[in-house]
Amino acid sequence: MATGINTLAAYCQFIPETVDKSLFRYEDVDPREADFFSRFSEIEVKNEDIKTDNATNLPTTDAAGRLVVACHKRFFPMDEEISHTFGFKFFAKGADRARLFRVYCHIVHNGITYEQLRKACEDDNLQELLISSCHETGLADDAAWLKGLQGFGTNSQCPVFGNIFCDVASQWCPPQLCDTVMTDIRPLSKRQAFVFWTQMKLGLIPNVDEDNWIDLGFCTAPNWQSLLHLRRAYRKLLHETCLEEFWSAITHSTIPFLFEKHDLSNEIAGLRNFKCLMKVVGKSYESVWQLKRYAQWEGTGPVSAVAVDYGFMNCKTPRQRQRLRQLYANYFAKGKDEMKLHQACIRGDLALFLREALDGLPVPDQLLTNAYPVEPLDQMGMITVGKTIFAPPSVHSEAELVASAEGNGARVVPILESHTDSMRGMMEDMAASLHDCTYSPIGP
C-alpha cells in the first residue's frame, strides 16, 4: 500500500514520501494570517521587451537583489522573503500590493540600487526611503499614500487582514458560512472554493504553495500574461455561478464544463494544458505539476513522485540536486510545455529531450534516468489524489475490501504481479484482519 504524493514508479522503488502531508492543506493554515494568501496581484504587464542587462549581475541570494531583478523585468515577485521584507504583506488587497510594486519599479528605474534598499531595511527606514524617492521622482500622490500608512515598514503585516477577509466574504457568501471556523467548512473542495472566491474578490491569485495552484489549474500558466488571463477568466466565471455550483465542479473535475455552461469557453480556449488538467485533477494528475511546484517553491524537498520520476533520487549530493532543480526551473522559466516534459519522462528520455529543449545539458545524463516505461502504461507518471492502494490482480478483491472498510475514499490502482513479491501476502493479511468479514485464500 502506498499513500501520499506518489506515482507508480515511486511505489515500485519504495521511495519514502518526502513531504508527510498534502502540501499545506488549509487545515494547517490560520485563515486570518496574511500568509494564507498569495503575493500575486492585479498588475497588468504590457507585452514589451524589457531590458534586464542591469540586473544580470545582482546577487540573487539577496532579497533586495531579487526585488530589483523583478522590477527590471516588471514581474511581480513570487518570493516569500521579499513579500515580508519589503512591505507587501502589509496589504490585504492585490490592488494595493500592485501599487507598491509599481512604486518600486519606478524608483529602481530612476536609480535606486539594491544596496540602498537593503540598507533601508537594515536601518528600519524603508518607509522614509520610499517617500523621499517618490518626491524626488515625481510621484507626489504615492508619497502621500505611503506617508499615511501607519505601521508600514520592513516585515510589517496587515493588522486587519482577518477583518478585511471576513468583510469581503460577507458580501457574497451565506451568513452561516461566514460565521463558520475555516477548518469546519466541509468538504475540502467547498473550503477551497470559499477561499478562492474571496481571493478573487481581493484581487489575489493562489500562490505556488496553495492547493488551488494545482487544483484550479494556475500551474499551467507558462508566463505572467497567461496567469493574469486565467485570473480574469475565473472572475468572469464566478460572476455567473454560485458557490455551491463552483465547489461541486471542483469536486467532480468539471471546471471546463462550467465555463462552457456559462458561455465562457472562449476564455480558456487558448490556455495551454488547462482543460486537460482540469478534467482529471480531482482523481489523478501528472507528476510534472508537482515538479513545477518544487522548481518554484524555495525551501521544500521533492515529493516522492518527483524524486523518482525526474531524477532527484539519483542525486548523491545537495549540489547535484540543486543543479537538477535549476535545470527544471530554467525549462519552466522559458515557458516550455509541461506536458511535453511529462511525455519525455514516461518514455524514459529525459536527458535527450532536455538537451534539445535547452540547447545543452548542465548535468550528467545519469541523473535524468528513471524507471519508465513500466506497466500499466496509463498509470505512468500519474499522481493519484487521496489515499492509494497499489495492488496486483491476484489480490485486487482484497484490496477493494480494504479500501471500502477504511471508508476514506481510498482508490485501488492495479499493478503487475512482478512489481512486488510482498504485496500479495500483506494485502491478504490486511483483508483477513478486518472485522465482520470472511475471507478465503486464493491459490495454493
Q: Tell me the pLDDT of the chain (444 aa) as tens digits.
A: 333 455 544 434 433 333 222 222 222 223 322 232 233 333 333 333 333 334 444 455 578 888 898 888 777 776 677 888 898 888 877 778 888 999 999 999 999 998 999 999 899 899 999 999 999 989 999 999 999 988 888 877 766 555 555 555 555 555 555 555 555 566 777 777 877 887 787 777 888 888 889 999 999 999 878 888 999 999 999 889 888 888 889 888 999 999 999 999 999 999 999 999 999 888 889 999 999 999 888 667 888 889 889 999 899 998 999 999 999 988 998 889 999 999 999 999 999 999 999 999 999 999 999 888 876 556 678 887 766 666 777 776 777 777 677 655 666 766 666 555 544 444 444 444 333 333 333 333
> Is residue 124 located within the same domain as residue 45?
yes
Domain co-membership, 180 together with 277: yes
- Domain-embedded: residue 211: yes
> By C-alpha distance, which of 381, 363, 371 is closest to 321?
363
pTM above 0.85, yes or no: no
Say if CB 370 and CB 348 are below 8 A apart: yes
Last residue of a domain, one of 115, 147, 179: 147
- Do 273 and 313 fall into the same domain? no
Helix, strand, or coil (residue 366): helix
Domain that holds residue 295: 8-14+286-377
Q: Is residue 1 included in any domain, yes or no?
A: no
Number of domains in the chain: 4
272 domain residue, yes or no? yes
Decide if 25 is inside a domain: no
Q: Please, how many CA atoms are within 13 Å of residue 236, restricted to the half-sphere of its CB? A: 17
Domain boundary among 282, 306, 321: 282
Distance CA 415, CA 424 (A): 11
Q: Is residue 219 part of a domain?
A: yes
Q: Are residues 266 and 319 in the same domain?
A: no
Whether residue 53 sits in one domain with residue 142: yes
d(CA 10, CA 377): 15
Asked whether residue 135 falls in the same domain as residue 191, the answer is no
Residue 400 sits in the same domain as residue 305: no
Residue 170 neighbours by CB distance under 10 Å: 14
Contact predicate 70/77, CB 8 Å: yes
312 and 213 in a common domain: no
Tell me if 28 is assigned to some domain: no
The answer to whether residue 23 sits within a structural domain is: no
246 found inside a domain: yes
Domain boundary among 101, 120, 147: 147
Q: Per the structure block, which three cell numbers stand in for 28?
A: 494547517
